[in-house]
Amino acid sequence: MPSAMVTFNGRITLPSDIRKQLGLKTGDNIDFVEIEKGRFEICPRTAAIREKERGVKATAYIPTVDEVNETVN
């Protein structure tokens, strides 16, 4: 089972085989998703992960402030 050590600064290095399986490259972001108290999944940060957390679909369209105000009023 792959493992990692937490440094004095709180950093960890993911083993290379884990990075490869997750498709991670230098500069990519990851999310720690709590699956139950005290247990987390490490997931590449993608729109799909953010949708899973919020339960809504991502959209490419972002309304302007004026459009939001028109809808609310």
Tens-place pLDDT, residues 17-61? 999 998 888 888 888 888 889 899 888 886 555 555 555 566 677
The pLDDT value recorded for residue 17 is 93
The ranges assigned to domains in the chain are 16-72
Residue with token string 């083993």? 15
Structure tokens at 9: 């600064």
Write down the pTM of the prediction.
0.54
Q: How many CB atoms lie within 10 A of CB 52?
A: 13
Here the contacts of 4-9 (C-beta below 8 Å, separation 24 or greater) are none
- Determine the pLDDT at residue 26: 87
pLDDT score at 59:
64
CA distance 47 to 56: 10
